[in-house]
Structure 1
């Protein structure tokens, strides 16, 4: 048969050392054939030169609506407290729909250029910003469908039960197209009430849940346990994710393992937001500063579905970032001291197939019939791609080329 695309001589993530390279044939936006050598004609042929191919990176937790605002709200000059939420809050009145779309587009394009093909973005609503952030980001879902699948999680960053008008805006956002409901109970005067209300919304609209939860440097008052209880009560196992959860990093392993087992049994997934957790954490001390990052590998070993994500980019929560999710995975492995091949491979899975599972994306992966989302990286294995933060050299979304990057060359004398 003829193909729309033939990608030749690439290595699949599951390939063993010494295995021959593989060709991938694409027709009508989907993978049609995978074989060591495909003899056929194609409208486009691309040479993989023995490099790694994957289905792209899956960004499970990012904030497009408030990215790239450093010019409006400088970071705190002192280490404690960080005041990131307050600094963002102070400028939200300047957000317009067009402004959000423009800033979010820049961040989204950087993510695409670095190999992301699927994304969940959190968008906050409250009386200060109204639905402008939602509307600004929603404009991107169709505009960038050629490059990335984008879903929106609506959340109350500054509180829900203590912030009149926010509940109504959350409901309005879910009616207008948000497909996931989020939470940030740390900023609510009644954390448990916010969590319970979010579960009610999820049940009413039949949507998944993705919460910011349990940020802090001690394991006291762990809201994760209430989330596990409500997940079982509502039958929402496999549909709930919690992000940050830095309190777990302060626990002895035996205690953390008990929480992990509870999460695994309830079907509550974890997303570690490495850059933000490192930047904001440990500000209560001036020496032996704790790293404040959950060891996702250990939780995964206890059966918890885990992902690693970018969270904030170029704002007071994280005044760094280029949208390269592989950089976050590399940082996660370094900070949690996971350096063996199996450990590194587990972190790779947290930005690829496990991240897709967290978002309940059943058509992820290089297999016949799946969407032809293909990214070629400048490495031969997932382990080396993560260790070296290998750049994405080529990418396709549903069989259409979206990214090209020249491999760096030395110009010797």
Structure 2
């Protein structure tokens, strides 16, 4: 058998056997095994991985490309969620399609070189921004399909029932190719009606749903209950995700157990956004401030599909970020105090295989026949990847090398150097 590319001696995440070769042909994984032969073709590229970790790339389930990289335009003072929403709402009045595209491209390229191969981005739609964000991100999605698969989730950040024209714009984007629809009930004048209308649209267009939900620290009420009720009632289990749900961070163990059971029963997935939730939550605490990040590892133990994601980059919601999902997994491990090997493994899964399940990606994985979406980390296993923030050294999208980083080397007196070599 001939190959276009062979990756030699890589350790595949999730497999207990030793290093293997991965043969790629025509954009797909054609063979996996020890000592693959290049075949008759003399044009086969070979990369020596030297036992490094191989996996199908990070999966970003919740990011806002359209409003990234605007920290320099926003003068924030309190650091609260309300201020972030209001400040960004004011800033986006001046957005143009070219501006959105340029900033989103900067953020997307960061994600690519950090090893992300699949992404769901939320895009705001309302009468003030119109379809500028949707059009810009749709173009970006097409332009960067060589490196990353992007899903667009359109949603009403500033409300739906209090903003009647927004519904028509959401319909227009669904007609125009949006991949799924989202909601933000906590900004709406009638949260339950927004939830119901989002489900109506999702069923009409046969798309998945992803809500921003329960973004505060008051556990006395939750929109989560209504989302679970609608998901179960409409048979939309496995097609609904909720992001933030910071209320869950302040539940006692018994209450969290009840919520976890409800989520698992309804088939509603949870995305935790550690950087944003840490930055915005607990601002009114004079001391002993709460972390504010929902305990994804506890929910995962109950059968809830959980992911860790970026949310915002360089804007009032999160004034930092390099789009590294491995850094997000490491951050979550720190704040959740999860340090055992099995817990670090779980953190790795929450930026890889579990978000792939959340997004219903049927062709994700290092397996013969799947697209050759492959990322190599400078480590031997997922536990070390999270614990040590391993550097991505090579990425491949559908069989084409999409990025490379030179591994760090020590310039020894004897001149010996080691690294990824073609």
| TM-score range normalised by the length of the shorter chain | over 0.9
Contact conserved, 1:81 with 1:283, CA < 8 A, in 2? no
* Residue of structure 1 in register with 2:214 after alignment: 214
* Residue of structure 1 in register with 2:385 after alignment: 385
Matches within 5 A, 1:241-256: 241-256=241-256
- Determine which of 24, 28, 31 is the counterpart of 2:29: 31
Q: 1:79 to 1:40 in 2, by over 3 A?
A: closer
Contact conserved, 1:333 with 1:339, CA < 8 A, in 2? yes
Matches within 5 A, 1:78-157: 78-79=78-79, 83-157=83-157
Matched, 1:268 2:268: yes
Matched, 1:63 2:64: yes
Shift of 1:20: 2.8
Shift of 1:40: 1.8
Distance 1:193 1:100 in 2: 30
* Residue of structure 2 in register with 1:297 after alignment: 297
* Residue of structure 1 in register with 2:46 after alignment: 45
Q: 1:156 to 1:81 in 2, by over 3 A?
A: closer
Contact conserved, 1:60 with 1:309, CA < 8 A, in 2? yes
Distance 1:220 1:197 in 2: 24
Shift of 1:224: 0.6
Matched, 1:183 2:193: no
CA-to-partner distance for each residue in 1:271-326, whole Å, 9 max, x for gaps? 00110000000112110000000110100001100001000000000000011111
Distance 2:134 2:220 in 1: 34
* Residue of structure 2 in register with 1:201 after alignment: 201
Shift of 1:412: 6.2
Classify the secondary structure of the residue corresponding to 2:105.
helix
Shift of 1:79: 4.7
Q: 1:81 to 1:58 in 2, by over 3 A?
A: closer
Equivalences, count: 410
* Residue of structure 1 in register with 2:307 after alignment: 307
CA-to-partner distance for each residue in 1:42-99, whole Å, 9 max, x for gaps? 521111011001000000110000001112113x233556610100000111111111
Distance 1:193 1:199 in 2: 10
Classify the secondary structure of the residue corresponding to 1:34.
strand
Distance 1:385 1:300 in 2: 20
Contact conserved, 1:20 with 1:36, CA < 8 A, in 2? no
Matched, 1:324 2:324: yes
Distance 1:409 1:323 in 2: 24
Classify the secondary structure of the residue corresponding to 1:163.
coil
Classify the secondary structure of the residue corresponding to 1:10.
strand
* Residue of structure 1 in register with 2:348 after alignment: 348
Distance 1:148 1:79 in 2: 32
Contact conserved, 2:313 with 2:321, CA < 8 A, in 1? yes
Matched, 1:238 2:238: yes
Post-superposition, which runs of at least 4 consecutive aligned residues in structure 1 deviate over 6 A?
none
Distance 2:79 2:140 in 1: 35
Distance 2:198 2:220 in 1: 22
Distance 2:175 2:72 in 1: 33
Contact conserved, 1:82 with 1:280, CA < 8 A, in 2? no
Q: 1:109 to 1:79 in 2, by over 3 A?
A: closer
Q: What residue ranges of structure 2 are gaps of 5+ in the alignment?
A: 414-422
Shift of 1:15: 3.4
Q: 1:81 to 1:357 in 2, by over 3 A?
A: closer
Shift of 1:411: 4.5
* RMSD of aligned alpha carbons: 1.2
Contact conserved, 2:376 with 2:394, CA < 8 A, in 1? yes
Distance 2:20 2:266 in 1: 39
* Residue of structure 1 in register with 2:417 after alignment: none
TM-score (normalised: structure 1): 0.97
Q: 1:194 to 1:367 in 2, by over 3 A?
A: same
CA-to-partner distance for each residue in 1:339-362, whole Å, 9 max, x for gaps? 111111111111101110100001
Classify the secondary structure of the residue corresponding to 1:196.
helix
Classify the secondary structure of the residue corresponding to 2:121.
strand
TM-score (normalised: structure 2): 0.95
Classify the secondary structure of the residue corresponding to 2:249.
helix
Classify the secondary structure of the residue corresponding to 2:401.
strand
